[in-house]
Chain A
């Protein structure tokens, strides 16, 4: 097959050619999906050097295992699984148990005897889109999400940032839907609490 034609191939055919050893087809697979892989890696790792490493490891894995892709799930779902494995499994074990315990406490926020929030919940007034451009905020976002254990971060990124369903996120990470739901709930609450001081002190300005 000649190079100019691979860019026009539909996904299934392209993947078949690449799996059969067609180098030009594999280069096209990289071209089509490298941005997706890189963005997801960046969101999970929060570090360009680490994201590049994961990008390389992921495509080396894709190169080796493309023949095992059965086409039953979406190709991007399969890719996400490889990225998640590369990003999460290699991470150094930190004090994850302690972190998991503190995240479970988020299921029960402090309330008074009537079940009302014990503390007033301050409003976030600024429009997020305007804030994103501020470097200071990016530092706050990075610091907050890096505190989450990798699996919690992965569920949040897959479901809320990348827009997969909770079922897809669970499938990609190899956990039950219930486990994905509880991690998502805690990850959202944790991140919200981490951003709260920044958002409420700057909000009225």
Chain B
């Protein structure tokens, strides 16, 4: 078993446990290889960092107000009478 084989396994499965003779062999390699352990650990921490950094964001009130205004304008422009007016004015 070599680091390069473990690398592909680590990158594909991260912390998912796949039970097959090949995977067991790869896990044994990782357990005894400091480089592969560090690599797996750093890959997991990469995911944790990106998961944590934006988890609490909700829509700011001003953004919500502008969104509702745009939807309202859009809805109004799609009523039949307005649509006809717009179409005829474009021609």
User: Do A and B bind?
Assistant: yes
- Smallest Cβ-Cβ distance to A138: which chain B residue: B53
Interface-central residue, B3, B14, B46, by most chain A CB under 10 Å: B46
Contacts known (A121-B42, A160-B51, A188-B14); A59 close to B71, Cβ less than 8 A: yes
Verify if A68 is at the interface (C-beta below 8 Å from B). Answer: no
Cα–Cα, bound, A22→B12 (Å) = 45
Q: How many A-B residue pairs have CB under 8 A?
A: 128
List chain A residues, Cβ under 8 A from B14: 188
Q: How many residues on B have C-beta within 8 angstroms of the other chain's C-beta atoms?
A: 41
B37-52 vs A, CB cutoff 8 Å, 1 = contact: the mask equals: 0110111011111111
Interchain CB contact under 8 A, A116 and B75: no
Q: Which residues of A contact B41 (CB under 8 A)?
A: 123-124
Do the beta carbons of A188 and B11 come within 8 Å of each other?
Answer: yes
Interface SS of chain B: helix, strand, loop or mixed?
A: helix
- Any B CB within 8 A of the CB of A189: yes
When the two chains form their complex, are residues A191 and B50 in contact, meaning their CB atoms are under 8 A apart?
A: yes
**Which B residues lie at the A interface, using CB under 8 A?**
2-5, 7-8, 11-12, 14, 34-36, 38-39, 41-43, 45-55, 57-59, 63-64, 66-68, 70-71, 74-75, 78
Instruction: Give residues in A with beta carbon < 8 Å to B.
Output: 23, 26-27, 30, 34-35, 38-39, 42-43, 52, 55-56, 59-60, 63-64, 107-109, 111, 114-117, 120-124, 128-129, 131-132, 137-138, 141, 145, 156-157, 160-161, 181, 185, 188-189, 191-192, 195-196, 199
User: What are 12 contact pairs spanning A and B, CB under 8 A?
Assistant: A34-B59, A38-B57, A38-B59, A39-B54, A60-B74, A116-B3, A123-B42, A124-B42, A128-B45, A132-B52, A161-B50, A195-B49
